[in-house]
Amino acid sequence: MRFFSWWRTASLLLLAVLLMPASLKSQTQTPVPVPVTLSGEKIVVEGRVYYMHQVMKGQTLYSIARAYSVSVDMVARENGLVDNAIKDGQVLRIPAAAVDQGQAAMKNHPAGTQTGTAGQTGQAQQAAQSGQPGQGKPAVAGAGAQVPQKQSSQDDRFIYHMVRRGETLGTIANDYGITVRDLKRANRGLLFPHEGDYLLIPKNKASYRSQDQRAGREQVPAGIPADTAIADTMAVIDEQETFTMPGEKNRIDRLDGTVRVAVLFPFFVRENTARAYADTTERVRTGSQIYDGSLPFLEAYEGVLIAADSLRSLGLTVEMKVYDTGADSAEIKRLLRTGELDDVDLIIGPVFSYNLQQIAGWAAERDIPVVSPVPLRDSHIHENKPSLYRVFPSQEVVQDLIADEVASRQGSRVIFLYSDTAMYDPATASLWQKVKQATGDSAISGGGRVVPYFYTGVTEKRNVYSTVASFESQLDHARKNIIVLATTSTPVVSSAFSALHSLTKRYDIMVIGYPEIRGLETVDLKYYYDLELHIPSESYVDYEAPGVKSFSAMYMKKFRTEPMAESFAWRGFDIAWYFIGGIASGGKSFLKDPGTFNPELLCLEPDFSRSSRNNGYENRGMFILHYRKDMTIEVLRPRHQPLKGGNDQGEEVSSPFSGSSERNRAGWAGRQD
């Protein structure tokens, strides 16, 4: 009976399988792997190029990594995957540089071997770890290694170098006697090499360092984890650059030759063609309304046009191409594809950081200078962009100027006012360290010269007197009290000015702050003067200067109106005159040392330099605006140097230039990032 029961059960199961639909049978079979093809879609994030791969049903992380010749760990790390889990429809970012390196490395190994890190085969990994080449494999090139043997699958133009732990672009370039720029050109899209990656070294530029030179380089301790990011402190071993400090003003009477200029501004032509706006009752059409986002750049372009006309009057031929780049990257990509910018001598713009990142790398390969014409929040955007010129100084330059101004006030009581708990904001922490270092004070207690003071501007139950009393407890009757405002928050700044102003009759108070706090509508202008506000400024307009009067006359003649004090036209003129005139008069020599050209400008006093040959140039030419108690504004150079060869008190101006008006700034503020 048991045998019969078992046989009946087996028969029923067999019959069920035979009668199973074909579609259901196929589902029980081993799934066929879904082929993976390289994506044709790429994006650029912070200067790095990525493939954007969309996961299809049946694809695995291993199959995707293998198709792109990269490691599973790399894909997981770049996309923050947990337990290497992916799902259908998910989009993965895969670094294009790693793909290129992996594919190049695969050419050196027979097909069918198992892929390791960044396209490196398992045999090659073992060989690299042991220091010996694998069977049938070329030796890995590197510091102290032999050049790989010639193979038909290898590009004879390059040496293949496998990155070791602790190596950076600078140390690798130094070992082969090339520049970091040459290394990056050979490895498109590369920013930071990882251990196990393969780099292409151009043979025609490589010249090996001696063994003693390589041994003299600081070695990385073996205990450093493999995923530790090592700072590239040895960028390029070159002679120290020297930059000319702007001296006497250059007078230009005659220029010749041709300068080709491309202006890339977001004019928002499409938005202006609509020329309509909606209110709460009806749609109103207007023929004169200008889109707010366009206005500052139209003003800047007006200044560029007047500068070009002025230079043409001196005999220079200025060929200008003007493009509306809008607020996205589509137009920039189109321009780079068409080659319309290949023959230009100068690019002014674009203004948004993501567009600037894209074009600066392209321009560096062609040695075309790119001028950033507006303030940018990114303090490091000029790094690794050797042909980028940043006109408006970064926050770091502003902080250095604030710290120097505090240090020049010997014997003063310094109160560092901040509004973020525990100084979590990196900008606040950076300024705090610079102020402490500049004053030579490491104390953080009330007995020290510089004291941190946490202040939010919020008054408990509107108890204004407690806020004033709290401030007063920090002040010193016997000394000058310097308040360093380490915040630009409108409520905090407004409250601090109000509380401090009530104490000016009993204490000697001076305030130093960021440029952004100027023009706050919530602060009474009289507070600035009574509290002797000192504030960095990259520009100002002296309306009594002959050049300013001449510009105003030309502006009136060309545009039938006068330039307003807050107009961007002043900046546009200075940028165009300085760079076009500098290229015409000094060519490449001017671009390498911009201080050799120092013309009379309207609102800027450029002082360009750079920290290394791999980075772009940054303008450090700023001033200190001192709001005096007599309701005048004094303009000083840093360290209280005379402004134009005058006395130590600097020069009084009636209306210092402070950028665009509040309405204009609101139209484009924040878009640079």
Q: How far apart are CA 538 and CA 91, in angstroms?
A: 44
pLDDT category of residue 310 using cuts at 50, 70 and 90: very high
What 251-258 contacts at long range (C-beta under 8 Å, 24+ apart), as own/partner pairs, is: 252/314, 252/581, 252/585, 252/599, 253/314, 254/314, 254/315, 255/311, 255/314, 255/315, 255/316, 255/581, 255/584, 255/585, 256/315, 256/316, 256/584, 257/316, 257/317, 257/584, 258/316, 258/317, 258/318, 258/319
Q: What percent of the chain has pLDDT over 90?
A: 24
How many whole angstroms separate alpha carbon 317 and alpha carbon 634?
Answer: 39
Per mean pLDDT, which range of 158-167, 252-261, 406-415, 605-614 is the poorest?
A: 158-167
Considering only residues 561 and 246, tell me which one the structure prediction assigns the higher pLDDT.
Answer: 561
Q: pLDDT tens digit string along 259-301?
A: 999 999 998 887 777 655 545 445 444 445 677 788 889 999 9
Look at residue 254 and tell me whether its pLDDT is greater than 50: yes
Region of 80 on the Ramachandran plot (φ > 0 left; ψ -120 to 50 alpha; else beta):
left
**Mean pLDDT, rounded, for 31-60:** 74
DSSP letter at 211 equals H
In the structure, what pLDDT confidence band is assigned to residue 196 with cuts at 50, 70 and 90? low
Query: Is 561 buried (19+), middle (13-18) or exposed (0-12) by CB count in 10 A?
Result: exposed
- For the record, the structure tokens of 194 come out as 């990882």
**Picking from 83-92, 147-156, 467-476, 520-529, which range would have the lowest pLDDT averaged per residue?**
147-156
Kindly tell me if the per-residue pLDDT of 520 is higher than 60: yes
The yes-or-no verdict on residue 369 having pLDDT over 90 is yes
CA dist., res. 426 & res. 395, Å (int): 11
Quote the DSSP letter at residue 218.
Answer: P
pLDDT at 22 over 50: no
At residue 251's C-alpha, the angle toward residues 249 and 255, to 5°, is 135
Q: Amino acid identity of 105?
A: A
List, for residues 547-598, the tens digit of each pLDDT value. 999 999 999 999 998 888 888 999 999 999 999 999 999 888 899 999 889 9
CATH 3.10.350.10 holds for 42-215: yes
Closest C-alpha among 212, 230, 210, 211 to residue 220:
230
* Cβ atoms 325, 355 nearer than 8 A: yes
Query: Which element (helix H / strand E) includes 333?
Result: helix 330-338
The mean pLDDT value of the chain amounts to 74
> Is residue 154 pLDDT above 70, yes or no?
no
What residues have CB less than 8 Å from 276, skipping those under 6 apart? 283, 284, 285, 286, 289
Fold equal for 42-215 and 396-522: no
Q: Kind of pairing, strands 450-454 and 413-418?
A: parallel
Phi then psi dihedrals of residue 637, to 5 deg: -75, 160
Q: What is the widest separation between alpha-carbon atoms in the chain?
A: 120
The pLDDT value recorded for residue 277 is 52
Q: Which residue has the higher pLDDT, 248 or 570?
A: 570
Look at residue 489 and tell me whether its pLDDT is greater than 70: yes
- Residue 141 DSSP class: B
Name the percent of the chain lying above pLDDT 70: 69
Helix (H, G, I), strand (E, B) or coil at 595: helix
* Total Cβ atoms within 10 A of residue 253: 6
Tokens of 141: 């090139």
Fold of 396-522: Rossmann fold (3.40.50)
Cα–Cα distance for residue pair 324/126, rounded to 1 Å: 55
pLDDT at 438: 84
CA distances from 104 to 4, 100, 119, 127, 169 (A): 66, 6, 8, 18, 18
In 3-state terms, the chain is what percent helix, strand and coil (to 5)?
A: 35, 15, 50
Query: What is the predicted pLDDT for the residue at 522?
Result: 85
Query: Does the structure show a pLDDT above 50 at 667?
Result: no
**Does pLDDT of 147 surpass 60?**
no
How many other β-carbons are positioned within 10 Å of the β-carbon of residue 100? 19
Residue 225 CB coordination number (10 Å): 6
CB atoms within 10 A of CB 510: 20
Q: Is the pLDDT of residue 400 over 60?
A: yes
Give the tens place of pLDDT for each residue, 95-118: 887 887 777 766 655 444 333 333
Report DSSP letters for 336-373, one per residue. Answer: HHHTTTTT-SEEE---SHHHHHHHHHHHHHHT--EEE-
The answer for residues whose C-beta is within 8 angstroms of residue 250's C-beta and 6 or more apart is 585, 597, 598, 599
Q: Is residue 497 predicted with pLDDT exceeding 80?
A: yes
In which band, very low, low, confident or very high, does the pLDDT at 464 lie, cut at 50, 70 and 90?
low
| Contact (Cβ atoms closer than 8 angstroms) between residue 554 and residue 602 | no
Domain residue ranges in the chain: 42-215, 241-384+538-673, 396-522
- Say if residue 435's pLDDT is above 70: yes
The terminus-to-terminus CA distance of the chain in angstroms comes to: 82
Question: What distances in angstroms separate CA 82 from CA 74, 75, 249, 415, one per listed residue?
Answer: 13, 11, 62, 47
Give the per-residue SS3 of 240-267. CCCCCCCCCCECCCCCCCEEEEEEEECC
Under the banding of pLDDT at 50, 70 and 90, the label for residue 377 is confident
Q: Give 502-563 as a DSSP string.
A: TTTTTS-EEEE--GGGTT-TTS-HHHHHHTT-EEEES----TTSHHHHHHHHHHHHHHSSPP
Indicate the pLDDT class of residue 326, thresholds 50, 70 and 90.
confident
Q: In CATH terms, is domain 241-384+538-673 a member of 3.40.50.2300?
A: yes
> Average pLDDT for residues 200-204, to the nearest whole number?
81
pTM for this one?
0.61
